[in-house]
């Protein structure tokens, strides 16, 4: 009986070892195939490229050409500069902000901002309002050779009579419509899309 029990234990141990070796072999095969699938001519590609994800085949996006990258950078820079000017305001120097914004504006937005600038200056002076902010990110929603839509996020503070002159956090998300005029990207529309 001892020999029979030993044999059963030996068979169980061998069976377990065989199953374990089989699992390790399958794991190694899977890792090898996965690594091979993520390489195209020795270059890594985005995971999922060439795989069916339920809505169609995922394909790698080609890099933009130099001209497109330069245009996109110019559009984002113009949007960031406008928003920086727009959200930094001191009641002691209101004309500095107003003139900076107007210099980067065009069309209907320029008209509306110019018309509202006197009220803005009056309200800011009455409230003794100061706002300081910086751009934390900017992204291009759409853009071509003549127009662009960008969203810019800012983080900053405002202090005035309402806040007892204590800085309170103000975070904004602003969408801008840009147009190319005489070689400069100018803002033709500006809207808050979220604030906090």
Whether 168 and 190 share a structural domain: yes
Instruction: Record the pTM.
Output: 0.66
| pLDDT of the residue at 36 | 54
Residue at which a domain ends, from 33, 62, 91: 62
Whether 92 and 156 share a structural domain: yes
Whether 57 and 45 share a structural domain: yes
The pLDDT confidence band at residue 40, using thresholds 50, 70 and 90, is very low
Beta-carbon contacts of residue 158 (< 8 Å; ≥ 6 apart): 129, 130, 131, 132, 167, 168, 170
Whether 83 and 58 share a structural domain: no
Computed over every residue of the chain, the mean pLDDT equals 82
Domain of residue 53 covers 1-62
Rounded CA gap, 123 and 5, in Å? 94
Whether 53 and 3 share a structural domain: yes
């Amino acid at each position: 009986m001892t020999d029979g029990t030993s044999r059963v234990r030996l068979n169980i141990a061998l069976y377990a070892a065989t199953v374990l070796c089989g699992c390790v072999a399958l794991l190694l095969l899977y890792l090898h195939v996965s690594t091979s699938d993520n390489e195209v001519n020795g270059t890594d590609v985005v995971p999922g490229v060439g795989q069916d994800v339920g809505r169609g085949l995922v394909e790698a996006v080609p890099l933009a050409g130099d001209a497109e990258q330069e245009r996109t950078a110019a559009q984002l820079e113009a949007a960031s500069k406008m928003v920086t000017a727009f959200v930094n305001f001191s009641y002691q120097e209101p004309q500095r902000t107003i003139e900076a914004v107007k210099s980067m504006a065009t069309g209907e937005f320029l008209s509306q901002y110019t018309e509202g600038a006197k009220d803005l200056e009056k309200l800011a002076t009455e409230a003794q309002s100061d706002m300081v902010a910086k751009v934390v990110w900017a992204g291009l929603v759409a853009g071509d050779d003549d127009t662009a839509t960008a969203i810019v996020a800012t983080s900053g503070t405002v202090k005035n009579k309402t806040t007892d002159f204590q800085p309170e956090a103000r975070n904004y998300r602003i969408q801008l419509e840009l147009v190319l005029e005489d070689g400069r990207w100018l803002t033709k529309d500006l809207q808050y899309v979220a604030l906090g």
